[in-house]
Chain A
Amino acid sequence: MTTATTTDLVRIGAKLYAVNPEVIDLDDVIPLFHGWIQQRVLDGVPIDVADYAHVPDGPGVMLIGHEADRSLDLAGGRPGVLYQRKRDGSGDLPERFAASIAAADRLAADVEADPLGHGVRFDRDEILIVVPDRLRVDNDDAALEELREAVTAALATTRPGRTAELTRVTDDPGGPLRIRVRLT
C-alpha cells in the first residue's frame, strides 16, 4: 500500500495581491499572456490562455501550462497574480514552497513591467499560499502547523530577514488549505 504524505506535496500555489486593482484590464491580460507564449519567455511548457473573466471572483485570465498555471486571479474578490504548481516539483518541501513563491514574484514583476499591465503593482508583503491537494493536506489548523516549518523555511530564502505571520484562511471550509502570510 502506498502512503501519501505532506512531504510529497507538489500542488503548491502562491498569490500576490494587486495594490491598485482598479487599473487592471482583463481584456489586455489576454494578449499579454499570449505574448509571453509567443516570445517563449516562460519556464516549462506554456500551453494556452483561458479567459474566465466572466466568472465573478473566479480564476480570471489563466495561462495554462503543463507544470503550472499562471493567472490574473479574481478569487476572494481580491485580484492578484497566482502561480499554481501542478506537477513535476523538485527539491524538498521548503524548496517547493520557495519555488512557488519565487515564481509568483516573477509573475508579478513581469506583469508590472508590461505596458498591458497598465501600471498595476503587487504587494510582496502579503502572500496567499494555496495547497489544493486534499489527499495529503486537510484544510484545518493541524495542517497549518504541520506545514509551518516548511513555509517558514521557504520565506527565509524568498523574503530574507522578514518576520512572517501565518494564519489559515477559514472563509471556505470546503476549499483547499490556504495560508495567509503577512510579512513585517
Chain B
Amino acid sequence: MSTTEWRERLLERMPPELAEEIDIFEGQMELRRKGKIEDRVFAETRLRRGVYGQRYDNGHRHDGLASRELVYPAGDLTKGPETLWDAPGMVRIKVPYGGITPEQLDVIAELAEEYSDSILHITTRQDVQLHYVHIDDTPDLMRRLASVDITTREACGNGVRNLTACPLAGVCHTEAFDTTAYAAALFRFLLGHPDCQDFGRKFKPAFSGCAGEACGLVMMHDFGAIARTSIVDGVERRSFDLYVGGGLGTTPHQAKLLYEDHPVEELLPAVQSIARVFGRLGEKANRNRARIKFLVAKLGIDEFRRLVDEERKVLPHDDRWTSYLPSVEDYTESPVREAVPAPANGAPLPDGYREWLRTNVYRQRQPGYAVATVALPLGDLSSTQTRQLADVARKYVGDAVRTTVEQNIVLRWVAEGDLPALYEDLVAIDLAAPGAGTIVDVTSCPGTDTCKLGIASSRGLAGELRTRLAAKQFELDEAVRGLRIKVSGCFNSCGQHHVADIGFFGNSRKINGVTVPHFQVVLGGRWRENAGSYGLAIGSVPSKRIPEVVDAITTRFVTEREGEESFQDWIARLGKKELGAMIGELKTVPPVDEDPSFYTDWGDARVFTMGDMGIGECAGEVISSTDLELTMAESIAFDAQVALEDGDLARADERAYAAMVAGARALVRTEHPNVPDDPDTIVREFRTRFYDTERFFDRFAKGRFARPLFDRHEAGSPAEHQDEATRSLVEESQLFIDAVHAMEIREAGAQSALV
C-alpha cells in the first residue's frame, strides 16, 4: 500500500482557510529551522497555533541527584527562548463550549496514539490536551483535526482562548435560555479576529445560562455573559448581563457588571469593543499586570464602560454581528433515541447502578431524558477508551457530547429507559465510576507532571486524595460528599482552587536548609453563582500531610455544622485564626532521616527540587500583530518558493502575489486596523498611505520593490505561467517583504530619534 502525505489525503476534507493556515504554520516552522524567524516571534506564532512548551524543554532536568542536560539530535535549535526544538511539548485542542462529536473523539484518539502518549487530557476549560508531542508532528496533527472541523488556533498565546459554557446548556432546569448558539457564534466571530491580535495577555470568555448555578463560572473570566429573559409587550425577550475583568491567578478578581440586560444582537459588537479597548490600553510590558482585570481595576468599571461605549460608536458595521441570529431560535439538539421511561421500581438493576445514578445522572428539563456524566480520573482517558466512549455515544446520544470544566465528559439526551444499559456499557469500558461532582471528583491542573510553572505535584496529590476518598465515599457524611476539591500546581490557578470548597495550590518551604513541597490551603470558595466568591488562604502545609488536612477539615465540618449551614458559612464563622490553628499541627516536617518521604512529592521518586521550573508560556510573548502578520507573509513567500521548486508555476505565482498582499496588509493595518480583507482595498490603501507618500521608498531603490505588487495586481493571474516570469515574481515577493521590514525599521528609528 502507498499513500500520499496527510496534506494531500485530507485536502478535500479540510476547510480551505484552516488548510492554508496550517500550510503557513508549516512554512514558518521551516523558516525557523533556517534561522529566518526570530525566536520570540516564532514562540508566539506556535502558541497561537496551540503548540505549547512543556517542562524540561530548556534541555535540563533534575534527575534527583543533579540537573542533567538533555542532548537532542537537533542540538541548539530552538522554537522559542530557551525552548529546544526537539523537546516534547503540549498541544491544546480547542473545544468551544465543550461540544465534541464521536467522530472528533475518534480522530483525537488516533492523534494521541500516533503523536502523544495515548492519553487525552480534559482541561478545566473544556479543552483537550495532548502531551509529549514533537513540534515536527504538529502540522499533520492539525490537518487531521481540521478534517473534522477542529482548530488549535489561539488555544494558547495572547489571544482569545477557548470559550467555555455550561455543559447542561439547553437541557437544564434553571437556565433562562440555551446559550449554545450564541457561544458558537461568538467563538467563530472572535477566532483570528484582527481586533484580538494585539493583546498583552490571554482573554478567556465564558457563557452561563443562569446566575445561580456554577454553569460557565462567569465571575472568574475575562469576559462573561449570563443569559436572562424578560417579557416585553407580552413577548419573551432574550438578553445578557455582560461581565468583564474577572480572573484567578495570583490576584483573583471577581468580574464586574459591564452591561445589564444587554440585547442579544449587541453581544458580538460589545465583545469586539471590549477587545479593542483591551488591545489599545491593556498593559503590554509587564505581563504580570496585563490581564484585562488589571485594566478594569485601574480604570474603574464606569470609565471602562465609557471607553467601550465610545469604541462601539466607531466600530465599522459587520454583518456577522446579527447574521447568525435568525438560526438561533431553531437551534436544537435532537435525541437519537425515543424517550422511554426509567425502569420501574423493583426491576433488577446492575450492581453499582443506584450509586452511579445518584451522582452521575441529571434529569433534563425535557421529560424522559437525562445527562450522564462520565467521571474521568484526573481528566484522563486512554485512546482506546475514547474510541469506545465514542461508540457508546453514537449508540445512545449521537453528537450530544460535551466536555466539562470539572474535567469530565457528559452524554446528553440519554433516554431514561436506556440508563441501565448505558451504565453497563460504561462499566465494560471502565468509565462508570460514581461520584461525579462530589468530593471524590478531584480537579487538578497538570502541575509538575508537564507544566513548566508547576511547583508541587497537583496531579500526584489529586490522585492520592481521589484514591483515599473513593475508598470511603459511601461512608462519608452527605454534607462532605457534596464538597469540591481542586488542586493547582502553583499560584496560577489552572486547577481553579479559588472557587473550590477545599482548594490547594503548590508552593515550597525551606526546612533546615532543604526544600520541601507544600500546598497552600484555600478554603470556602463558592462554586455556585458562577464562581461567586473566592476562598480564604489559611496556611501552607507539607504536601504529604494534605490528606490529613482534608480529614481534619471534613471531620470538623460534620461535627460543628449548625443545621443546614453551608461549608462557606462555616468557614466564615470559624475565621482565619481558628482555621489556621486547625491545620497548625500539620505544618511540621520531620527531619529527613526520620521520614524522607516528606522530601519527595506525590508520585515522584526524586528528591524534591525547584530547579526544573521554567519560564511559563501561558503569558505568551508580546509580539506586535504587524510582526506576526509579516511572519505569515514570509511563510507564504516561502511556500511560493517550494511550489516553484516543485514546478507548480500556477501555485508559485498565486502564493507570491498572496505574500505581497499579506505584507502590504500588515503595513496598512498599522494605520487602518479595519481594512477589509480584499486585495483591491489593501493594494489601494498601501499605495495611498505608503507609496504615494514615498514612506515605502528605499534611499537607493526608491519605490521599485512595490512595483511587482502593483503590476501583478493590475494584470491578474497570467493565462499561461512562464517559468522565468514566475521565478522573478517569487523573488520579488521576498524583496517586497524585506522592504516592508526595512520601512518599519526606518520609521521606528525615526520615532526613537524623536523621543
Name A's B-contacting residues (CB within 8 A).
1-6, 11, 30-31, 34-35, 37-38, 40, 45, 47-52, 54-59, 62, 64, 66, 69, 75, 86-88, 132-138, 142-143, 146, 172, 174-176
A138 to B110, CA, bound (A): 12
Q: Is B259 positioned at the interface, with any CB of A under 8 Å from its CB?
A: no
Contacts of A142 in B (CB 8 A): 1
B389: min CB distance to chain A, Å? 12
Contacts of B382 in A (CB 8 A): 52, 55-59, 75
A164 to B378, CA, bound (A): 41
B6, B8, B55, B63, most chain A CB atoms within 10 A: B63
Q: Is B50 positioned at the interface, with any CB of A under 8 Å from its CB?
A: no
B610: min CB distance to chain A, Å? 16
Contacts of B117 in A (CB 8 A): 50, 52, 59, 62, 64, 69
A172-B384 in contact (CB<8A): yes
Known contacts A30-B604, A38-B65, A132-B114; decide if A3 and B387 are in contact (CB<8 Å): no
Contacts of B134 in A (CB 8 A): 86-87
B118-A51 in contact (CB<8A): no
B1-A138 in contact (CB<8A): yes
Across the two chains, which residue of chain A brings its CB closest to B140?
Answer: A135
Which 4 pairs from chain A and chain B are nearest by CB?
A56-B430, A31-B605, A58-B382, A54-B377
Across the two chains, which residue of chain A brings its CB closest to B459?
Answer: A51
Across the two chains, which residue of chain A brings its CB closest to B648?
Answer: A1
A123 to B113, CA, bound (A): 24
A3, A34, A54, A58: the one within 8 Å of B3 (CB): A3
A126 to B211, CA, bound (A): 59
| Complex interface bits, B56-93 against A, C-beta within 8 A gives 1, otherwise 0 | 10000101110010111100000000000011100000
Contacts of B140 in A (CB 8 A): 135
Contacts of B751 in A (CB 8 A): none
A34, A48, A137: the one within 8 Å of B55 (CB): A48
B119-A55 in contact (CB<8A): yes
A88: min CB distance to chain B, Å? 7
A30, A55, A69, A87: the one within 8 Å of B381 (CB): A55
Across the two chains, which residue of chain B brings its CB closest to A137?
Answer: B1
Q: Is B399 positioned at the interface, with any CB of A under 8 Å from its CB?
A: no
Known contacts A55-B119, A137-B1; decide if A34 and B63 are in contact (CB<8 Å): yes
Contacts of A143 in B (CB 8 A): 1
A133 to B73, CA, bound (A): 22
Across the two chains, which residue of chain B brings its CB closest to A28?
Answer: B605
Chain B contacts with A in 453-473, Cβ cutoff 8 A? 460, 463, 466
Q: Is B327 positioned at the interface, with any CB of A under 8 Å from its CB?
A: no
A69 to B110, CA, bound (A): 17
Chain B contacts with A in 586-608, Cβ cutoff 8 A? 603-606
Q: Is B617 positioned at the interface, with any CB of A under 8 Å from its CB?
A: no
B114-A45 in contact (CB<8A): no
A175 to B61, CA, bound (A): 33
Q: Is B329 positioned at the interface, with any CB of A under 8 Å from its CB?
A: no
Contacts of B9 in A (CB 8 A): 135
Q: Is B559 positioned at the interface, with any CB of A under 8 Å from its CB?
A: no
Across the two chains, which residue of chain A brings its CB closest to B86?
Answer: A66
Q: Is B109 positioned at the interface, with any CB of A under 8 Å from its CB?
A: yes
Contacts of B460 in A (CB 8 A): 51
Contacts of A146 in B (CB 8 A): 1
Contacts of A54 in B (CB 8 A): 377-378, 380, 463, 466
A30-B605 in contact (CB<8A): yes
A150 to B113, CA, bound (A): 23
B605-A58 in contact (CB<8A): no
A48, A86, A138, A174: the one within 8 Å of B387 (CB): A174
A23: min CB distance to chain B, Å? 19
Main secondary structure, interface of B, reads mixed
A30, A47, A132, A138: the one within 8 Å of B61 (CB): A47
Known contacts A4-B4, A31-B605, A58-B119; decide if A175 and B387 are in contact (CB<8 Å): yes
| Complex interface bits, B117-139 against A, C-beta within 8 A gives 1, otherwise 0 | 11100000000000110100000
A59 to B68, CA, bound (A): 26
Contacts of A50 in B (CB 8 A): 117, 131-132, 449
Known contacts A134-B114, A175-B384; decide if A47 and B4 are in contact (CB<8 Å): no
Known contacts A11-B114, A59-B382; decide if A48 and B61 are in contact (CB<8 Å): yes
B487: min CB distance to chain A, Å? 14
Q: Is B621 positioned at the interface, with any CB of A under 8 Å from its CB?
A: no
A5, A34, A138, A175: the one within 8 Å of B606 (CB): A34
A47, A87, A137: the one within 8 Å of B70 (CB): A47
Contacts of B109 in A (CB 8 A): 174
Q: Is B2 positioned at the interface, with any CB of A under 8 Å from its CB?
A: yes
A64-B8 in contact (CB<8A): no
Contacts of A48 in B (CB 8 A): 55-56, 61
Known contacts A52-B380, A58-B118; decide if A175 and B113 are in contact (CB<8 Å): yes
Contacts of A137 in B (CB 8 A): 1
Known contacts A4-B4, A58-B382; decide if A66 and B61 are in contact (CB<8 Å): no
| 7 more A-B residue pairs beyond the given contacts A47-B88, A59-B118, A132-B114, with a C-beta to C-beta distance below 8 A | A47-B70, A51-B603, A57-B430, A69-B117, A75-B384, A136-B3, A175-B383
Q: Is B154 positioned at the interface, with any CB of A under 8 Å from its CB?
A: no
A-B contact list, 14 entries, CB within 8 Å: A1-B4, A1-B5, A2-B4, A3-B5, A4-B4, A45-B72, A49-B604, A58-B380, A69-B132, A136-B1, A138-B1, A143-B1, A175-B113, A175-B387
Q: Is B629 positioned at the interface, with any CB of A under 8 Å from its CB?
A: no
B377-A55 in contact (CB<8A): yes
Contacts of B86 in A (CB 8 A): 45, 66
Contacts of B377 in A (CB 8 A): 54-55
B5, B8, B9, B132, most chain A CB atoms within 10 A: B132
Contacts of B8 in A (CB 8 A): 1
Q: Is B106 positioned at the interface, with any CB of A under 8 Å from its CB?
A: yes
B72-A133 in contact (CB<8A): no
A6 to B3, CA, bound (A): 9
A143: min CB distance to chain B, Å? 7
A52 to B70, CA, bound (A): 23
A40 to B65, CA, bound (A): 12
Contacts of B603 in A (CB 8 A): 30, 51
B64, B65, B384, most chain A CB atoms within 10 A: B384
A55 to B379, CA, bound (A): 10
Across the two chains, which residue of chain A brings its CB closest to B64?
Answer: A38
| Complex interface bits, B5-17 against A, C-beta within 8 A gives 1, otherwise 0 | 1101100000000
Contacts of A66 in B (CB 8 A): 70, 72-73, 86, 88
A148: min CB distance to chain B, Å? 13
B2-A5 in contact (CB<8A): yes
A88 to B72, CA, bound (A): 12
B1-A133 in contact (CB<8A): no
Contacts of B88 in A (CB 8 A): 47, 64, 66
Contacts of A47 in B (CB 8 A): 56, 61, 70, 87-88, 132
A62 to B55, CA, bound (A): 16
Across the two chains, which residue of chain B brings its CB closest to A67?
Answer: B73
A75 to B381, CA, bound (A): 12
B1, B73, B381, B449: the one within 8 Å of A6 (CB): B1
Chain B contacts with A in 373-401, Cβ cutoff 8 A? 377-378, 380-385, 387
B398: min CB distance to chain A, Å? 17
| Complex interface bits, B520-560 against A, C-beta within 8 A gives 1, otherwise 0 | 00000000000000000000000000000000000000000
B71, B106, B114, most chain A CB atoms within 10 A: B114
A6, A48, A87, A133, most chain B CB atoms within 10 A: A48
Contacts of B430 in A (CB 8 A): 56-57
